[in-house]
Each structure stands twice: as structure tokens, then as C-alpha cells.
Structure 1
Amino acid sequence: PLHFYDPIYALLEPQELQSSGNNKIMSRVNCQFTLSHEQREKLSSNESVFPRVEVQLRFFNTTGVIRDIEQADDFPPNCDVTLNASPVALPDFIPPNPNKKEEPKRRSKPVNITQLVVNSRRDKPHLMEIEWEADKRQWAVAVYLVECVNAEILRNRMMKSPAFELPYGTTEAIIKKRLGGGDDDDVAMDSLKISLLCPLMKTRMG
């Protein structure tokens, strides 16, 4: 099933992984985060249960990006992570294109590290070591406490939304008003584009 995440708390705020200019060098950084007793009690290591609370490790390529805009997960080259002296399993590599010479890239997804923290170091900080091949690009790492939900939960939320309950006639009147300018203070739209792709499944709606 598709997974979606509601952020609850930043256990480790985005921390920059320093670039090295034009030289490629192996770099290492150590960081730590702590869970409160209440946060730890909410954790679930059963990945078949929805909703559930997870601890997620995320990496971002922050080269030239605008702050405060959500970024896709992107991993530094030759990246290895250990948490509490245990190796962290990062996403698999995307199969390379045999016709192109490309840098190996991992799949863009957060890393669920709940299993490594749920029963360890209960009253102490969790210690994380990150090693990567630094170059001119800038990267960042963060750790979040999130609630993992699925498409069914999101669908139920949408159906309970007041906007979902608007009758057909009301929706039609709003569209006509927007296209026609309506009140003197309104700005008339020239066109109205509607996507037929389901925002969850990315398939065409009938």
C-alpha cells in the first residue's frame, strides 16, 4: 500500500553536511537525538498497522534550494549510516541506464529507523554517524517523528472535510462566478484547469 506521513516532531532539525568545493573527499559527521518517554511509548515497529508512529531518517540535496520548501529525499554519494553502532539499511539503488554514465542513486524515500531506537538507549541520546563522499554539492540530514497513514485514511479525512460535502449545484455556481468575475472585487479567471489524475494513485479517474 501507499504510505503517507504526517510530521509530529523534528527529533533532529535539518543539519548541513558540509561541501568540500571541487575536491571529492570522504567526510564524516556525528550527531545525536533523544526521544522522550511519551514519544517512545507511541512507537510501533509493526509495519502492517495504520496509522502508526515511526522515527524516520531523511537526507536532502540542498544545493541552491529555497528554504522552507519541502524537499524530496536524496542521498549523498557513497553514504553509510550507523545508529547506536548498528548499520542503517538505506534504500536500494535505482537500476542504472546502460546507455548513460550516471552516478548511482538510491530510491527517493525516507528511512524507517524505528527498529533501531524503540528498545535501545531508553534514557540516553541516540548516536548517529554519517559517512559520505563530499563534493561541491550541499546536503542535509534530519530525523523526524511521524505518523504513517495510508490512502484509505486520507480518503476518509477527505470525505469528512466540509469542502467534500458541497452539493453539485453549489460547486457549479462557484465555478461560474469565478469564470465570470462575479462581484466587482473579484478577478475573473480566463480558464480553469482540472486534472483527471487521482492525487493518491496517480491514475486517470473515470
Structure 2
Amino acid sequence: PLPFYDPIYALLEPQELQSSVNGNIKTVYCQFTMSPKELAKLSTNEALFPRVEVQLRCFNTTGDIRDIEQADAFPFYCYITLNDLPVTLPDAFTTKKGKEPKRESHPVDITHLVVNSPSDAPYTMRIVWVADQRQWAVAVYLVECVNAEILRNRMVNSHAFEFPYVTMEAIIRKRLGGGDDDEVAIDSLKISLLCPV
């Protein structure tokens, strides 16, 4: 799960994109459905929070990935359509000269494609990629998109965030060092770039 997205459930469980040693172009078709109630919750207004989105996620499954959260990653030579409408994948960038370009690591919002497609039939996704020795998986999720303010309010209102006055005072005194020089004690702090607050 990503910090700005609360998963509601999977519309399409992860589907494996088979690897190949030949570098062949492969095509896979996947289908998912949505009820009218689910469709009514969707919002394409990016200024609205919280909002419900349909997200396409792809990740590399090569090696032992059990119990390890995977970053979003798309094969570079990849083309995806939803009901024959092209899906815009993350931009590609080159990290080193002579290396295969990589795509930005984030999920793809396909809500606008779902909303603009007829809802009486299953949504058909076509994935075309150049298969290599890496294995990939693709999935579609219904998620609630939140912003930093919503996450901050959740954190502040959670019981884990409550410190008794005496405990907080002791932490502050320890950090200040408590000596005559009133120097701030040097400390280290680990942060995650995924943490929005």
C-alpha cells in the first residue's frame, strides 16, 4: 500500500506477465468488472479529496518477492490499452548512458478510461510488451486517494500519537542535553521518502 492511497480492494488480482529468453513480443488480455455502485463512487476531479480512483499497478516479480513490498515498475517496451483506449504510462528516463531507460515508479490512474468506457461489458485490458528474462505482474485496484492533510489528521487523532505531558517534557529535556551550556544534543533521525507528513 502507498501512503496517499487507501486500497479498497482488487478489481484484477495480480496477473503474471511471463518471461522469455528470446525477447519476443507478447500480448496478454485481462478483464475486470465494476458494479454501477462502484462506478458511481469514481471521481476524475483531481482537486477533490478524498476521491475514489481505479489504479493500474505493475511490478517486477523476478526473484523471491514473498512478504516484500514491490515498487511500481513497468517494462520499458510496454503498451497497454483499456477497451482499445491507450493507457498513458509513467515517463521514461535514462539513468546511465547505454542502459535501458526506466519508467517513473508510481501507479497509473485509469479512472478516466473506465468512466469513458461502456459499463455494461467487462473492461478488457490488452498488455503488449517485449518479454525478457524478467517476470512482471499487473493488477488493477479500486483505491481512495487522500492528501497530506487527511493523513496528518489521521496521525494526530490516533492514540499512538498521544504523549503524556510528562513524557514529552522528558524527551525535550533529554534532547536539550540538560547541561549548563544549554546545547542541543546531536541525534539522528531516519525518515522515509514515502512518508507524506
Structures share fold, TM-score greater than 0.5: yes
Q: Which amino acid aligns with 1:123?
A: D
Identity %: 65
Question: How far apart, in 2, do the equivalents of 1:37 and 1:84 lie?
Answer: 18
Quick one: which of 116, 125, 130 aligns to 1:128? 125
Structure 1 residue 18 displacement after superposition: 0.5
1:112-127 to 2 correspondence within 5 Å?
112-127=109-124
Question: How far apart, in 1, do the equivalents of 2:64 and 2:188 lie?
Answer: 29
Equivalence for 1:186: none
Question: How far apart, in 1, do the equivalents of 2:54 and 2:152 lie?
Answer: 24
- TM-score normalized by the length of structure 1: 0.80
SS in 2 for 1:89: coil
Equivalence for 2:159: 162
Equivalence for 2:42: 43
**Unaligned segments of structure 1, at least 5 residues:** 175-192
SS in 2 for 1:8: strand
- TM-score normalized by the length of structure 2: 0.83
Change over 3 Å in CA distance of 1:88–1:94 after alignment to 2: same
Structure 1 residue 201 displacement after superposition: 4.9
1:14 matched to 2:14? The reply is: yes
Structure 1 residue 77 displacement after superposition: 2.7
Equivalence for 2:139: 142
SS in 2 for 1:46: coil
SS in 2 for 1:29: strand
Quick one: which of 99, 110, 125 aligns to 1:102? 99
Question: How far apart, in 1, do the equivalents of 2:190 and 2:17 lie?
Answer: 40
Structure 1 residue 196 displacement after superposition: 5.5
Equivalence for 2:51: 52
Change over 3 Å in CA distance of 1:196–1:15 after alignment to 2: closer
Structure 1 residue 171 displacement after superposition: 6.1
Q: How many residues align?
A: 179
Q: Which amino acid aligns with 1:49?
A: L
Contact kept, 8 Å, 2:76 with 2:92, in 1: the verdict is no
Structure 1 residue 172 displacement after superposition: 7.8
Equivalence for 2:189: 195
Structure 1 residue 23 displacement after superposition: 1.6
Structure 1 residue 17 displacement after superposition: 0.3
Equivalence for 1:64: 63
Structure 1 window deviating more from structure 2 (116-125 vs 154-163): it is 116-125
Equivalence for 2:181: none
Q: Which amino acid aligns with 2:149?
A: E
